[in-house]
Amino acid sequence: MLRVADVTDFLESIAPRRWAFDWDPVGLQIGRPDAPADRILVALDVNQTSLALAEERDSQLLVIHHPLIWKPIAHLREGNDVEGKVARIVRGGRSFFGIHTNWDAAPGGISETLAARLGITDLEPIGSGATVEQVKVVVFAPSESRNALIDAMSAAGAGRIGNYERCAFWSEGTGTFVGNANANPTVGHAEQIESVAETRIEMVVDLARLAAVVKALREVHPYEEPAYDLVTLRPTVPQPLSRIGNISPMTARELVALADEQLGAKTWLYGDPDRRIERLAVSGGAAGSEWVAAKAAGADAFLTGEFRHDEGVAGQDQGFVMMASGHRETEHPGMEALALRLRERFPEAEVVVALP
């Protein structure tokens, strides 16, 4: 039997919670990790269409882009509001998992799927994203303990940079110390000056994993009193929301026609329709404020789902081209891509997609 935890662990591996903004309540909102998940429904929203399909197919796990619960619920009453939908999901014995801005930003997620639909190549991440507080752990140990320490700290969560793991820097040096009468040094003797060939190891770690990394360090380190430093780093954006890349040269008017065809959309254009577009930035959903980062990154135009009128005017006044193709139209392809990933990972499961 496939469990909810099996599916959510996979989703965490491709779109970690840390990539979601702190205001975004992603994750398992309804249900329990050990519940069955042999039948999965993927959708953009929880609405009457997706709920009816879940009931028709007896889906056990709903994987939904937009979280359902955004504020505390005081009552569970029947109806079409949030409380009614929660009650309906609970009554059906189903689980609910939200995967929102973390999937917007993830490789292969909302923005990258949108870019692929529009034929954008040579993608680069740009723009805003969830910030992550990080610490650099610097530890000193005998040279022969180097790999054991790097392995243990890596397993606890240190040394993860983008698509790479077990990232570390090390250099050789000499450590010296004098242990007092109560000391039991691993190398040398108490109450004597000792000099030992040591390795300095440096690894970065998210603040949320720091305690686990320090625990692993202390468990593996051969010294009675390990020496290590913790250096606070500037917050980083490990996975920005938007993407920029190259497209076959065309006018803004032609790009609107392409977006309408590929997304089934009715695209709104702010800017010169005859502007030549070669570098295009995209971000699914409501990402109007991302146009500033897109322009700064060298884009000729920015396409998203929706933006405020004043954002469109501001971009247009600066000679920039902005396009809005619809919230659903720019995000649903990314949910279809997620369903495909789930089918590939769990071929034994039934995975259905609800139309928005």
Query: With 0-12 CB in 10 A as exposed, 13-18 as middle and 19+ as buried, what is 14?
Result: middle
Query: Do residues 202 and 228 both lie within one domain?
Result: yes
**Which residue pairs, CB below 8 angstroms and at least 24 apart, start in 216-222?**
216/152, 216/153, 216/155, 216/156, 217/137, 217/139, 217/149, 217/152, 217/153, 219/152, 220/145, 220/148, 220/149, 220/152, 221/139, 221/141, 221/145, 221/149, 222/141, 222/142, 222/145, 222/186
Residue 113 resides in a domain:
no
Query: Do residues 123 and 251 both lie within one domain?
Result: yes
- The pLDDT score that the predictor gives to residue 186 is 74
Query: Do residues 77 and 152 both lie within one domain?
Result: no
Helix (H) or strand (E) holding 9: helix 4-14
Query: Do residues 13 and 88 both lie within one domain?
Result: yes
Range of the domain at 293: 119-127+240-325
List of E strands, the chain: 27-30, 39-43, 61-64, 95-98, 121-126, 134-142, 169-178, 193-206, 227-232, 242-251, 268-270, 276-286, 301-306, 321-324, 350-353
Query: Do residues 303 and 165 both lie within one domain?
Result: no
- The pLDDT score that the predictor gives to residue 243 is 98
The Cα–Cα gap between 210 and 157 comes to 8
- The pLDDT score that the predictor gives to residue 346 is 98
Query: Do residues 84 and 123 both lie within one domain?
Result: no
Residue 85 resides in a domain:
yes
Residue 110 resides in a domain:
no
What CATH number does residue 143 fall under?
A: 3.30.70.120
Residue ranges of the chain whose pLDDT lies below 70: none
Query: Do residues 26 and 149 both lie within one domain?
Result: no
Residue 21 resides in a domain:
yes
Query: Which among 232, 263, 279 is the end of a domain?
Result: 232
The Cα–Cα gap between 290 and 121 comes to 19
Residue 111 resides in a domain:
no
pLDDT in tens, 171-210: 999 888 888 978 887 777 888 888 888 999 999 999 999 9
Residue 114 resides in a domain:
no
Query: Do residues 179 and 32 both lie within one domain?
Result: no
Query: Do residues 171 and 301 both lie within one domain?
Result: no
Query: Do residues 250 and 221 both lie within one domain?
Result: no
Q: Is the dihedral of CA 158, 162, 166, 171 positive or negative?
A: negative
What CATH number does residue 95 fall under?
A: 3.40.1390.30
The Cα–Cα gap between 287 and 284 comes to 7
Query: Do residues 19 and 78 both lie within one domain?
Result: yes
Domain count, the chain: 3
Contact 119, 90 (CB under 8 A): no
Residue 112 resides in a domain:
no
Query: Do residues 349 and 305 both lie within one domain?
Result: no
- The pLDDT score that the predictor gives to residue 163 is 76
- The pLDDT score that the predictor gives to residue 106 is 97
